[in-house]
Structure 1
Amino acid sequence: MGPGPTVRKKPIIGLLQVAGVVVLMLLAFIYSRPPGVPDEASVAKELAASPGKPAPLVSVVRPSALPGQLAVTSTGSVAVRSYVTLTPQVSGRVVATSPALRSGGSFAAGETLVTLEQRDFILALAQVQADVTSAQASLQLSQAEASAAIANYQMLSPGKETPPLVAKAPQIAQAKAQLQAAMARRDIQQVNLERSVFSLPFSGRVVESTADEGQMLSAGQSFGRVYALDAVEIVITLAPEELAKIAPAEGRAAMITADGLNFEGRIARVAAERDPRTRFSQVYLTASNSEPLTPGTFVSVKLKGPAIENTFKLPESALQVGQSFWIVKDGAITGMDATILGRSNGHYLVEAFDYGDGIVTGAVPGAREGLPVRLAETD
């Protein structure tokens, strides 16, 4: 009989505990409501109860519609479009190198970088020049013999055409071919002699070089790497919406800042494909003076888009909650969903619209559609 009353009390205690939790949750909800945020009905009731209460003061701006321009900023780095491998076309021993042929050195177009020993090339050229002279003599001899043979034949057979064999046509053709071959060998040796002096047709900088006096260089064997100054470019990435702001992008002017120095530049091209992960596009720019730019340097770039007619330049304080604006019209505020073109230097560039008595700046306590307000500048 003793345990019976205890069993009947347990459900009652559980219900009391649940009821206590519900009460605590209701109290927490009531006291957690932010004070001073009445709904529209409460505000209307309050205004009706206190008709003498003044309308809130608001500050406004009255911008003029002017041409605007969007700007896009980005960061990137200096890169090289392509490197050039230093490779001799002839073999030989190095007898002289330019002081510029060192890592970090700069050279001009046509400047001699490496000179190979030229004695072998000079001798080879002299030898083939002698072959040319010999071939010329052989041709002249064949032509003279042919002239004599033709004259004798005409004396013996007047009025008849001289046969090719009598006119020594095969011998003359062979002599001409030998002369042409000798001249070709001479031209090859002349080119080899010129190639013993190594230079490049562009101005650039040396990345690395292993050539030095006394070293033997072999044809086709690399001895360094350089890049042309006009191969230096700036690479940045832009989102699709940023590219849209400056469209058309190619040829667009840019201001490039690198290591505290400013350079003028232009967009040369936009990558044909977007990055498959970020969906951004790589944009390549060229600077007006690329010589001071070192590959690998981080840069900041500012791009200016095309001019846009009829725009407002509004302060950030004019933008209200919901990406809209309040305007004052007939003594009350009303919402305006204007087209925001972009943001730059603490201002919004907005398509021009009819703003009535002005565009409100800053927050308006209890703001709502149709709320009567006073302009601060008229008080």
Structure 2
Amino acid sequence: MRFLGRSLIGMLLASMTLALMAYAVFLVNGAVQARIGAEKRVPPARERVFAVNLVEARLGTETPVLEAFGEVQSRRTLELRAAASGRVIALAEAFEDGGAVVAGQELVRIDPADAKAALDRVRADIADAQAEARDAAKALNLARDEQAAAQEQAELRQRAFQRQQDLVTRGVGTAAAVETAELAASSARQAVLARRQVMTQAEARIDQAETTLSRANIALAEATRRLEDTTLTAPFDGTLSATNVVEGRLVNNNEKLADLVDPDALEVSFRVSTAQYSRLLDASGALIRADVVAVLDVSGVDLTATGRISRASVTAGEGQTGRLVFARLENAVGFKPGDFTTVQVREPAVENVVRLPASALDASGTVLVLGDGDRLEALPVTLVRRQGDDVLVRGDGLAGREVVEARSPLLGAGIAVTPLRKAKSGEVAPASPAMVELSDDRRAKLVAFIEGSTRMPEAAKARVLARLSEPLVPEQMIKRIESRMGG
């Protein structure tokens, strides 16, 4: 009985367990089906809002500045060459690379012995020619007197002949006497012809003597010029360079001795593209005399010189593109021929344009402007000119709109933004450069570097040293000098 009771209890517990498991499976299956059949609930998405900096588009007149790189050169550069050959016997004290000379100053003297000897020979030839001319003049006078005497004798003989003819006509004279008188008259006429020929020869001798004297005078002028060519003088004020002669050296005719450069007649040549060159032409196609500024960076100090465009090269140049333009410089203190400078050219003013940051314009030529509800709108514009980090643009409806200062891939038409506007309390004064107080050791190193610099002009060196001697020195100047010191 006990065994039967325990078996019934076990069967009852097993049945209850199976029933509970079946119920659990039913519940799980129902839950899964309900989950699969239920609609998905997506939480509502919130629109993302970006903060953007805005700048107001203001129409105005802008003067674009064209930047290019150019080289400084002198408008007057002369090669000094020897006009005569010989030995150099004297040199000017300033005849050295970098020596300053003035117009008319004697630079080189070549041994004039040969030139003087040639001049003396020519003078002797002139003396001979003058003596020959005097002798020819005397001979001409004698020939004239002899011709006059022969003519007088011929007239006497002719009268004697006529007298004999008269006597024969009266029956007093003889035929032999008439014949003798006729022969005498004929001989007298022949003598007159001979004297005329002698006078003609004397006149020809005079002409030959004058020609010889003229040739001698020409030779004298040439010999004098050759003697003057033994002395080389400076044709204008300037500075010597590339000198290659010393006292005692033999030089050949037309040999280059040095270059003479006028440091005050400077100009800068720079190359621009054809499109940029077209903007420097007026309505008639002539090159405008635009103002230029040449900037030279010398050991932390910018040397500047103003000028004006003077001309353009007639050809583009072999293997070159664009146009080569020249501008004359004024008050170019510290500039030297060969300096590589930055040239800023003021183009003609452009009207009705808006100046915007270059980051506001995309590749498709549109800008983003603030629209209704603080949402962005795309506005097409026309690019007129690029000016460094800015652009000059035009567009319908652009004036007075607020433009996004910097584009990003996240911004586009229809995007909601939070506008960030600059204060409109007027123009803000530019911040003054940061000033630094130098220690004695650091100041001494900077001063020593500037004083030892050979490339810096004296005027610029004096200005830098004056700034370094002040209690506070611009930080930018210090950084630029230390960058050239190597740290």
Structure 1 and Structure 2 fold alike (TM over 0.5): yes
Structure 1 CA distance for aligned equivalents of residues 273 and 386 of structure 2 = 15
Structure 2 CA distance for aligned equivalents of residues 62 and 93 of structure 1 = 76
What secondary structure is seen at the aligned counterpart in 2 of 1:355?
coil
1:348 lines up with 2:391 in the alignment = yes
Query: Aligned to 2:60, which of 46, 59, 65?
Result: 65
1:209 lines up with 2:204 in the alignment = no
Aligned position for 2:101:
107
Aligned position for 2:225:
191
Aligned position for 2:160:
none
Which stretch of structure 1 is more off in the superposition, 164-173 or 81-90?
81-90
Matched pairs, number: 327
Instruction: Decide which structure has greater strand share.
Output: 1
Identity of aligned residues (%): 21
Shift, 1:84, TM fit: 5.0
Aligned position for 1:3:
none
Shift, 1:213, TM fit: 2.5
Which stretch of structure 1 is more off in the superposition, 113-122 or 76-85?
76-85
TM-score when scaled to structure 2? 0.55
Verify the 8 A CA contact 2:370 2:403 in the aligned structure 1.
Answer: yes
Shift, 1:315, TM fit: 3.8
1:292-351 deviation line (CA, Å, top 9, x unaligned)? 433443211111212223222234464356332244677776433222221225432224
Verify the 8 A CA contact 1:104 1:207 in the aligned structure 2.
Answer: yes
The one-letter code matched in structure 1 to 2:329 is A
The one-letter code matched in structure 1 to 2:64 is L
Shift, 1:172, TM fit: 0.9
Structure 1 CA distance for aligned equivalents of residues 333 and 218 of structure 2 = 42
Query: Aligned to 2:364, which of 322, 325, 331?
Result: 322
What secondary structure is seen at the aligned counterpart in 2 of 1:343?
strand
1:358 lines up with 2:371 in the alignment = no
Query: Aligned to 2:344, which of 302, 324, 337?
Result: 302
The one-letter code matched in structure 2 to 1:253 is D
RMSD of aligned alpha carbons: 4.2
Seen in structure 2, the aligned counterparts of structure 1 residues 199 and 330 have a Cα distance that, compared at 3 Å, is: same
Seen in structure 2, the aligned counterparts of structure 1 residues 128 and 154 have a Cα distance that, compared at 3 Å, is: same
Seen in structure 2, the aligned counterparts of structure 1 residues 180 and 292 have a Cα distance that, compared at 3 Å, is: farther
Shift, 1:191, TM fit: 0.6
Structure 2 CA distance for aligned equivalents of residues 55 and 200 of structure 1 = 73
Structure 1 residue runs of 5 or longer lacking an equivalent are 1-44
Structure 2 residue runs of 5 or longer lacking an equivalent are 1-43, 156-191, 423-487
Shift, 1:237, TM fit: 3.3
Aligned position for 2:14:
none
Shift, 1:195, TM fit: 0.8
1:136 lines up with 2:130 in the alignment = yes
What secondary structure is seen at the aligned counterpart in 2 of 1:122?
helix
Shift, 1:221, TM fit: 3.7
TM-score when scaled to structure 1? 0.69
Shift, 1:171, TM fit: 0.6
Structure 1 CA distance for aligned equivalents of residues 86 and 51 of structure 2 = 92
What secondary structure is seen at the aligned counterpart in 2 of 1:211?
coil
What secondary structure is seen at the aligned counterpart in 1 of 2:118?
helix
Shift, 1:255, TM fit: 0.9
Shift, 1:97, TM fit: 0.5
Aligned position for 2:151:
157
Aligned position for 1:313:
355
Aligned position for 1:25:
none
